[in-house]
Copies of this chain bind each other. A is one copy, B any other.
Amino acid sequence: MFGSSPVLVSLDLVGIFVFAISGALVAVRKGLDIFGVLVLAGTTGLGGGFLRDVLIGATPPAALADWRYLIAPVVAGLVTFYFHPALGRMERVVTIFDAAGLGLFCVTGAVKALDHGLGPIPAALMGMVTGIGGGMARDLLAGRVPVVFSSELYATPALAGASWAVLATRADWNIWLVVLPGVLLCFGWRILAITRDWRAPLPSGPSSV
């Protein structure tokens, strides 16, 4: 189903593109040259999907069998490299696109995991991993604290969106009912967490160091 659904493939490509822009921006701010920018763009855009495909045994990953998956991060990297001051002034826009990428990937990742025969809970987790994996790889390579460990909510909205996609797919609902509420749930939660500075609970006791 996944391979033949143009809706899901399109959402995947948009997700790759916007995540790749976030990776390229980190690279530009680190003063990397154009190849560093392209490597971080590719790692961020494709990392989550690669991790998912390797874990569910769907190798080679879709990104290695379909040239559109490879062109997306290259274009995103080149655009960012040449126009980053404009993108930088649109910091708010980039943050919104990053949240959209998280929403898109958690849904497409969960559906693809279901298609490969995983149960509902593992599939929801794979959706979350697809969403957060690219950003974790980006931050590891760039020597930053992984965004998933920053105090803004990140993994939870992705798990929520993925869970919706799993439930709706199992209920055999229309593809738009699988995708739209799942993406919006993750996207909206993430945006609200950023703008309202929502925090997850911290350990209550004294640190045990």
B-contacting residues of A (Cβ < 8 Å)?
Answer: 25, 27-40, 50, 54-57, 59-61, 63-65, 67, 70, 81-82, 84-85, 87-89, 91, 116, 118-119, 121-122, 125-126, 136, 140-141, 143, 145-146, 148-149, 151, 153-156, 199-209
Contacts and interface: CB of A to CB of B under 8 A. Distances in A.
Contacts of A116: 60
Given A35-B153, A149-B32, A154-B35, A56 B59 contact: yes
Given A29-B207, A136-B141, A149 B54 contact: no
B208 A85 contact: yes
B65 A55 contact: no
Given A119-B67, A141-B146, A146-B141, A208 B125 contact: no
Contact of A208 (B25, B54, B200): B25
A206 B146 CA distance: 25
Which 10 A-B pairs give the minimum distances between C-beta atoms?
Answer: A88-B208, A57-B59, A33-B200, A64-B122, A85-B205, A36-B149, A28-B203, A34-B201, A35-B155, A56-B60
Give the interface centre of A87, A136, A140, A205 by most chain B CB atoms within 10 Å: A205
> Majority SS of interface residues in chain A?
helix
A65 to B, nearest CB: 7
A208 B56 CA distance: 38
User: Oligomeric state, in number of copies?
Assistant: 3
A122 B70 contact: yes
A52 to B, nearest CB: 10
Nearest to A126: B64
A140 B64 CA distance: 24
- Count chain B CB atoms within 10 A of each CB in A29, A59, A154 and give the residue with the most: A59
Contacts of A151: 33
Contact of A122 (B57, B65, B82, B91): B65
